[in-house]
Structure formats: C-alpha cells, structure tokens
C-alpha cells in the first residue's frame, strides 16, 4: 500500500471546533418561529388499567394549544422488528414509562403546569416482573394479541452435548445475572418537528441516532409516504444505541401535535423522564454448563440465556441473536447447545445498548473460564490459549475463521505484556497482608462485525465534488459523537488526495442520503467507509478519464496533496482546477457508492452457518485493589488490546477504547436503576451512578492492526468490543484479590463486602 496521508492518521475531528466553541447545536438548542413545547404525562403504575383520562382542565390552561391521547394518533403502533410499541397507551399501561397523554403549549412552564392538571383514573394491577416467571406456561400475558410471553427463541446446536459432557473430566454449572443498564447519554432526548415545511408533511430535527428507522416509525404513525417525512439529524450528545425507538416515539408524538396545531413542536426530556421512559440494556439471566478434560480442552457447553424484553419487543429478537452466536466465547467447542430467549414483562422495555447481546454473555462466559481454570489448576491465560480460536478454527456455528486474521493470541499477548500480567498474577495469587488486596483478571472476546443475519446489510453514500474542488459527502449513517464524520472524510480525502478542510460531511438527511441501515453494530467504519470509498473511486475514475483527455496525461494519475500528479511525480493540475475544468466541460463529478456486506448465512433451527462475515478480537486485563474492609473496588489499571483491522484514525480508536473501558467499569461496579416490582427508583444521576473522572483506571489502549481484506483500508470495528470485556476482567481480578467469585452485576459495596445485595424490601 502506498503511503497513506489521511487514513491511519490521528486527524483532528472535523466537528471539534464547533463543539469547543459552543457553536455546535444540539436538539434542545434549536428555536423555530412559533414553536410550541411538548410534554408527556406518563403512567403512575407499571401495570394498570387506564379507566378514565380527563384532559379538560389541562386544555383550558393558558397557552395550551393541544392535548391529545392515543385516540388522536392515526396509527398508534410502530417497531423496528415487531410493531407492537404504542406511541401512547390507551386501555392499559404496561410499563412505568408508558405515555398516556401528550400536550403542547406556548412555554415550557405552561406545558409543565398543564400536565399537572391531567387527571387519570387507574386500576392498579398486579404485573409480572421477572422473565423467569413470565416464561412459565400459565403466566399472565403481557402483550395483547399473543399466546405466550415469549418474544423470541434462538437455538444453536452443534455436535452432541450429552456425549460431550460424558467425555469431560470436570463439569461446572453456574448461573449469572446482569443488570439493566441506562445509556446515560449526557444529552437527554430532544426533537423538534416542523409541519408542512418545504415539500414534506413533517421535518424532524434533533438527537436522532437512526434517521431511517425514525422515519419509518413517523411515516407509519402518520400513515403517510416515507418521502413525506424528512429527518435531519443534529449533533447528538451521545446515544450508545439508546436513541432509536424512544426518539421515534418522541418524534411521532411531536409530529401528530405539530400537524394538529400547524406549529413546530419541540420535545425535550428531563433526565428523570429519560431514565423512566427510555429503553435499557436487557437484564440477562444466564445458565452455563461447561465440560472440560483435565488438560483444559473444552468438550461441551450448554447455555441458556434469558433476556427481559420488558413491555415491548423492541430489538429483543436481534439482541438475543447476537447472544446465541457468541455465547460460547471465542473458543473451539465441539459440542454446543445454546438457547437464548426474550420474554415480555411489565418492566421497562429493553433494546439496543452498546455491545448489544454480548456484554451479558461475555461477563458470564469469561468469569466462568477463570473459575474453570482455577478448578483445573491452570492459569487463566493457559486455559484460554488451550481453547481459543486460531486461524481456521471453527465457531459454534460451524463457521471457519479463514477470511481474516484471527488474532486472539496477539491481543492476549500484547495486553499481558502491557500490564505485566504474569508477574502480577503470581504475586497477587499469593497471600496478601493488609485489608487492601490486589488482583488481576483477564477477558477475551470475539465479535461479529455489523448486523450479521439480523437484517439486510447495505450502506450508501454520495461523494459530490463541487466546481471549486470542495467536496460534499452524504451518507445515511449518522454521527452519534463517535467520530464518523471525520473518519468518512478521511477515507474520501485519502481516495481523492484532498485535505479534510475541503470536505464537508453533511448531517444525515433522509431526503438526500440513501437509506443505509442503522448506525449500530459498530458497522459504520466498515460499511460507510466502503460505500464512500466506492463513491470516491467512481469520481476519481471520472476525473482521471477527464484529465487524460483534457491535459493529455499518459499513464497512471496519482491524487495527493490537493492535486493530481503523474506517476513520475510531475504535477498535472490542482484538484480544484480539475474540478472546475471538468464541470465547465459538462462532466458529472458526483457519484453514489453502494456497499452490500459480504454474504452471510444462518439456519434458524440449528444456528449453523456464517453468521458474520468477519470478526474482531479483543483482550482486556484489569488490575484492581479491593478494600476488603469496606467493599470498595478501585480499578487501578486496564490494558485493552483490540484488533481493529486498520485504525482509520488512531486517536479516535483510542478514544473509543477509553470510553468503552470506563463504561464497562460503571456497569461492573456501580450502575443500578434501583429497580423493584416494575418501578425505577434511581431516576437521576445522583442515584444512577456512572463513573466520574476519579473512578477511571489508567488505561493502556493498544491498537492491533491486521487489515481485513473486505474493510476500507482494512478497517473493521471498535465501538462495541471495548465495552463487553471489562465486567469479566474486573470480576476475575476481584476473585484473585479476595478469593470470592461473583455471579451478579453490579459488584457494588454490599456484594463485595458481604456477598449479597441489600434492598429496602429485604
């Protein structure tokens, strides 16, 4: 590969300047003429019949322009997979965040005061709050129109686990649980819907993670064409998968009110509203049975993972699908029986959250591997090395890992070296004096890139070279804060030899950019990068053809430093001049690039096939200090080695690693919704705790690069792999420090000090 100028360089983010000056606008910063402020009145109980709704007083409050219920909504349901999410609840509320009444008023204060005047009569019902209960055949049904509470079941069968276990010298059976996780994006949900703007029925502005999914929802709710709904995404104050269905719901509500009043309607959640209404990471209950020979070789794994889908299906079918694919962890196991399930409950609904279906399974399976190693008298890394994937290994789905570099050994070695694992493991495994004890623990993972068998996996982009040589990029993938504006600009800049300051990446606009699937699954660099690279290539070819004719150039033409050069290094013309000349000669300098992911396959009965077209590999090792007198855990160091194929922007990749590790620290030690019987008790950041700067470990972010043949410049994925490993690594480190193994997250003060959680209910 020739020397890269833009790619594989830590280019400064193109959106940074606007953000450090406060000029970058976020959803709640927008002001439209004549704008109304929307508010939602939500249920008082997790499960209740809505007997009567009296909006008469609210309607009369000065400044109120609209008060509406489910009756006023053209089509009250939507959903990415199963369309059973209600915009507003009508006959019954089925989870604590269900909205019942919405209103719009001239001021925020008027909206808030009017909301207090809505009178709702409830009949509180006894709900079902445990998926292990709601799965039972005689359990009360949560979702109308169903005959069971099962949202989904994914089976995977490989070999024969019975004979596998019979072969084993040692069998361990353990049960794990992981908790609800709130995304806790710093920016609460915010959208503004403008009716009858330009050529569309509604335009939606704001904090939208997946513009096309939101467009689908709004168009469906309004019963109008997709072309009549325009979503224009503003800067997002974080999402992590969390601004999908809840934003669609918010946009649909605002849209109905905007059309009814013919005025823009802005809806912004308070933090409490955000935490109470928005979907969460699925809590999982996981049962693992593992069989191994004395020498550590795994013979069989039997896994059952039950996810709490809450009131709506949301993305449970896909989240649990990733779980079924990856539940064994990155190990060659000849006999595997995995079943993943999602069940409805009267709990907060659950959906996409960074990592999707793998943080829970990774926590369980990597904790189990450490426990197994200890039982076998092996070091944790030894057991991993005995079983982990190598080149041409076969996964639990029977997929041969041969089309990319399988780098588990490399990430493991690099992480170990960085944190001095061998020495520390030996030291900390011995008796330690004092009450503050140290430990070290590792976790490894593999992760399928992009959507796999969940949905059609395609992305489109447009590269439009303007007549002055500046370039406009469009892509259906949305900047969530993760940096894809910059990464995409780098890819195009590299192809066309143009510096980033001449490239403008437009915010996602569903009326302009091609529908590209959602900005999820850490797929943007790979999919969007490929699409834009193609588009740029097309434009490049056009320009080359033009240049050859126009300037009489022979041989190859090189694009670099904002100009075109001959192979021999002689400058042909400035890029800007070529663009201008081409334009004035009637040459079209825009191009679409459409990228369809490589073929995958999946058998729904057996879980066999090629579920993902490529994988990334990661290893994280945590060094902790446990205060055995108080239960406090300090994560001192974390070595995080991730194979990303190619780092388009190394500084960005490091940022994703730091962010993912710290998110995992929160999940492992402190994040807790205070959930009980359908109620969320921790509704703001004073009680739902995420790590502050004083809670972070020293992190060594180790970028490993084994270029993927299919990735743009070899690049693959980084966003989610960084968040799935920390839980197990910390749990394993605590086990080394204290001798105690834990099975339920979070590992808070109580669990670490006295071995169990405490709650007001006892």
Kindly identify the residues of this chain, within the stretch 472-511, that bind other proteins according to CB under 8 A: 480-483
Nearest to other proteins of 238, 598 (CB atom): 238
Compute the least distance from the CB of residue 418 to other proteins, in Å: 13
- Contact with other proteins (CB under 8 A) among 9, 24, 59, 403: 24
Distance CA 163, CA 728 (A): 29
Nearest to other proteins of 39, 346 (CB atom): 39
Residues near 707 by Cβ (< 8 Å), separated by ≥ 6?
Answer: 645, 646, 713, 714, 715
Compute the least distance from the CB of residue 529 to other proteins, in Å: 18
- Contact with other proteins (CB under 8 A) among 2, 3, 23, 377: 23
Task: Say whether 650 sits in a helix, a strand or coil.
Answer: helix
44 binds other proteins (CB under 8 A): no
Compute the least distance from the CB of residue 719 to other proteins, in Å: 11
Site stretch for other proteins (CB under 8 A), options 26-34, 394-402, 440-448, 458-466: 26-34
33 binds other proteins (CB under 8 A): no
Nearest to other proteins of 11, 534 (CB atom): 11
753 binds other proteins (CB under 8 A): yes
Residues near 661 by Cβ (< 8 Å), separated by ≥ 6?
Answer: 620, 638, 640, 697, 699, 722, 723, 726
Nearest to other proteins of 187, 371 (CB atom): 187
Distance CA 87, CA 585 (A): 53
Give the residue among 337, 311, 307 at the shortest CA–CA distance from 321: 307
- Contact with other proteins (CB under 8 A) among 22, 377, 552, 586: 22
Compute the least distance from the CB of residue 462 to other proteins, in Å: 25
Give the residue among 445, 396, 357 at the shortest CA–CA distance from 161: 396
Question: 473 to each of 224, 464, 507, 645, how far by Cα in Å?
Answer: 28, 6, 9, 24
**Hey, which residues between 567 and 626 contact other proteins (CB under 8 A)?**
none
Strand-pair partners of 105 = 37, 64
- Contact with other proteins (CB under 8 A) among 5, 153, 271, 537: 271
Task: Say whether 63 sits in a helix, a strand or coil.
Answer: coil
User: What string marks each residue from 147 to 186 as x (binds other proteins by CB under 8 A) or -?
Assistant: ------------------------------------xxxx
Nearest to other proteins of 113, 332 (CB atom): 113
Structure tokens at 434: 């004092």
Compute the least distance from the CB of residue 463 to other proteins, in Å: 25
Task: Say whether 239 sits in a helix, a strand or coil.
Answer: coil
Site stretch for other proteins (CB under 8 A), options 98-106, 133-141, 414-422, 683-691: 683-691
Strand (E) or helix (H) holding 425:
helix 421-429
Nearest to other proteins of 329, 691 (CB atom): 691
25 binds other proteins (CB under 8 A): yes
Compute the least distance from the CB of residue 113 to other proteins, in Å: 8
Site stretch for other proteins (CB under 8 A), options 164-172, 173-181, 514-522, 678-686: 678-686
- Contact with other proteins (CB under 8 A) among 5, 9, 29, 81: 29
**Other CB atoms within 10 Å distance of the CB of residue 160:** 14
Distance CA 419, CA 762 (A): 41
Nearest to other proteins of 334, 691 (CB atom): 691
DSSP 8-state symbol, 732 = H
Give the residue among 719, 600, 717, 608 at the shortest CA–CA distance from 659: 719
434 binds other proteins (CB under 8 A): no
φ and ψ at 84, to 5 degrees?
-120, 20
Site stretch for other proteins (CB under 8 A), options 141-149, 320-328, 652-660, 707-715: 652-660
Compute the least distance from the CB of residue 506 to other proteins, in Å: 17
**Hey, which residues between 85 and 144 contact other proteins (CB under 8 A)?**
109
358 and 332 Cβ atoms separated by less than 8 Å: no
31 and 23 Cβ atoms separated by less than 8 Å: no
CA 666, 668, 674, 677: dihedral to nearest 10 degrees? 140
- Contact with other proteins (CB under 8 A) among 2, 3, 21, 552: 21
- Contact with other proteins (CB under 8 A) among 6, 15, 330, 710: 15
- Contact with other proteins (CB under 8 A) among 131, 655, 712, 727: 655
Nearest to other proteins of 326, 649 (CB atom): 649
Give the residue among 2, 4, 18, 3 at the shortest CA–CA distance from 485: 18
Structure tokens at 77: 């349901």
402 binds other proteins (CB under 8 A): no
Nearest to other proteins of 84, 209 (CB atom): 209
427 binds other proteins (CB under 8 A): no
DSSP 8-state symbol, 480 = -
Count of residues engaged in binding other proteins, rule: CB under 8 A? 78
Site stretch for other proteins (CB under 8 A), options 92-100, 220-228, 527-535, 681-689: 681-689
Distance CA 565, CA 623 (A): 52
Compute the least distance from the CB of residue 398 to other proteins, in Å: 37
C-alpha Rg value of the chain to the nearest Å: 27
Distance CA 601, CA 599 (A): 7
Compute the least distance from the CB of residue 14 to other proteins, in Å: 10
Nearest to other proteins of 159, 238 (CB atom): 238
Give the residue among 417, 445, 425 at the shortest CA–CA distance from 378: 425
Nearest to other proteins of 10, 420 (CB atom): 10
Residues near 219 by Cβ (< 8 Å), separated by ≥ 6?
Answer: 225, 226, 228, 229
Nearest to other proteins of 587, 670 (CB atom): 670
Give the residue among 209, 197, 280, 277 at the shortest CA–CA distance from 243: 209
State the distance between the two ends of the chain, measured CA to CA, in whole angstroms. 64
**Hey, which residues between 693 and 722 contact other proteins (CB under 8 A)?**
693-696, 699, 701
**Hey, which residues between 226 and 255 contact other proteins (CB under 8 A)?**
235-240
19 binds other proteins (CB under 8 A): yes
Give the residue among 488, 475, 407, 563 at the shortest CA–CA distance from 713: 488
Give the residue among 253, 255, 241 at the shortest CA–CA distance from 210: 241
Instruction: HSE, CB side, 13 Å, CA atoms: give it for residue 596.
Output: 4
**Hey, which residues between 722 and 751 contact other proteins (CB under 8 A)?**
748-750
- Contact with other proteins (CB under 8 A) among 306, 314, 396, 663: 663
Compute the least distance from the CB of residue 723 to other proteins, in Å: 10
DSSP 8-state symbol, 541 = H
Distance CA 223, CA 216 (A): 10
Nearest to other proteins of 143, 651 (CB atom): 651
435 binds other proteins (CB under 8 A): yes
């Amino acid at each position: 590969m020739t020397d890269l100028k833009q790619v594989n360089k830590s280019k400064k983010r193109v959106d940074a300047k606007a953000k450090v000056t406060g000029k970058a606008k976020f959803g709640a910063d927008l002001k439209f003429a004549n704008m109304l402020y929307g508010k939602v009145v939500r249920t008082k109980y997790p499960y209740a019949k809505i007997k009567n709704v009296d909006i008469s007083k609210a309607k009369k409050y000065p400044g109120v322009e609209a008060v509406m219920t489910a009756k006023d909504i053209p089509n009250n349901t939507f959903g990415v997979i199963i369309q059973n999410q209600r915009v507003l609840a009508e006959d019954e509320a089925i989870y604590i965040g269900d909205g019942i009444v919405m209103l719009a008023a001239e001021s925020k204060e008027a909206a808030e005061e009017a909301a207090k005047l809505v009178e709702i009569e409830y009949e509180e019902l006894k709900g079902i709050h445990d998926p292990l209960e709601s799965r039972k055949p005689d359990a009360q049904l949560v979702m109308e129109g169903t005959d069971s509470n099962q949202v989904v079941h994914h089976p995977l069968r490989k070999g024969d686990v019975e004979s596998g276990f019979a072969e084993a010298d040692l069998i361990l059976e353990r049960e794990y649980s992981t908790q609800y996780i709130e995304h806790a994006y710093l920016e609460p949900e915010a959208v503004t819907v403008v009716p009858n703007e330009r050529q569309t029925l509604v335009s939606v502005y704001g904090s939208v993670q997946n513009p096309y999914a939101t467009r689908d929802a709004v168009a469906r709710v309004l019963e109008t064409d997709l072309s009549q709904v325009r979503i224009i995404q503003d800067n997002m104050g974080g999402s992590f998968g969390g601004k999908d269905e809840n934003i669609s719901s918010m946009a649909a509500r605002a849209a109905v009110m905007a059309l009814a009043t013919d005025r823009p309607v802005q809806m912004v959640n308070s933090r409490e509203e955000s935490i109470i209404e928005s979907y969460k990471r699925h809590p999982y209950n996981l049962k693992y049975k593992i069989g191994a020979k004395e020498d550590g070789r795994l013979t069989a794994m039997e896994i059952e993972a039950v996810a709490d889908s809450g009131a709506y299906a949301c993305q449970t079918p896909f989240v649990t699908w990733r779980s079924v694919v990856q539940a064994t962890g990155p190990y060659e196991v000849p006999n595997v029986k995995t079943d993943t399930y999602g069940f409805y409950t009267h709990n907060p609904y659950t959906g996409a959250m960074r990592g999707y279906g793998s943080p829970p399974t990774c926590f369980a399976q990597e904790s189990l591997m450490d426990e197994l190693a200890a039982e076998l008298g092996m070091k944790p890394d030894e057991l991993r090395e005995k079983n982990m994937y190598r080149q041409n290994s076969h996964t639990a789905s029977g997929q041969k890992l041969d089309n990319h570099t399988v780098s588990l050994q490399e990430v493991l070695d690099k992480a170990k070296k960085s944190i001095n694992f061998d020495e520390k493991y030996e030291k900390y495994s011995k008796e330690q004096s004092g009450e503050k004890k140290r430990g070290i623990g590792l976790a490894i993972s593999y992760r399928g890139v992009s959507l796999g068998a969940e949905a059609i996996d395609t992305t489109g982009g447009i590269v439009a070279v303007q007549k002055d040589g500046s370039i406009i990029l469009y892509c259906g993938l949305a900047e969530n804060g993760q940096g894809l504006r910059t990464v995409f600009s780098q890819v195009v800049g590299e192809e066309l030899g143009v510096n980033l300051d001449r490239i403008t990446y437009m915010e996602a606009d569903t009326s302009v950019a091609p529908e590209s699937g959602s900005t999820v699954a850490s797929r943007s660099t790979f999919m969007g990068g490929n699409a834009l690279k193609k588009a740029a290539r097309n434009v490049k070819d056009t320009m080359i053809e033009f240049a050859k004719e126009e300037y009489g150039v022979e041989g190859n033409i090189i694009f670099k430093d904002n100009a075109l050069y001959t192979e021999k290094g002689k400058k042909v013309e400035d890029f800007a001049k070529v663009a201008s000349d081409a334009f004035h000669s009637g040459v079209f300098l825009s191009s679409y690039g459409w990228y369809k992911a490589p073929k995958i396959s999946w058998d729904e009965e057996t879980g066999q096939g090629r579920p993902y077209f490529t994988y990334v590999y990661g290893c994280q090792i945590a060094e902790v200090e446990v205060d055995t007198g108080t239960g406090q855990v300090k994560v001192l160091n974390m070595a995080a080695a991730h194979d990303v194929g190619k780092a388009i922007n190394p500084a960005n990749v490091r940022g994703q690693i730091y962010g993912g590790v710290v998110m995992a620290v929160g999940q492992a030690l402190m994040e807790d919704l205070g959930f009980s019987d359908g109620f969320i008790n921790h509704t703001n950041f004073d009680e739902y705790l995420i790590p502050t700067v004083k809670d972070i470990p020293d992190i060594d972010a180790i970028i490993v690069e084994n270029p993927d043949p299919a990735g743009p410049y070899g690049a693959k994925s980084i966003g989610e792999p960084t968040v799935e490993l920390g839980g197990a690594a910390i749990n394993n480190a605590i086990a080394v420090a204290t001798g105690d193994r834990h099975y339920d997250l979070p590992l808070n003060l109580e669990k670490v000090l006295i071995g169990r959680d405490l709650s007001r209910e006892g």
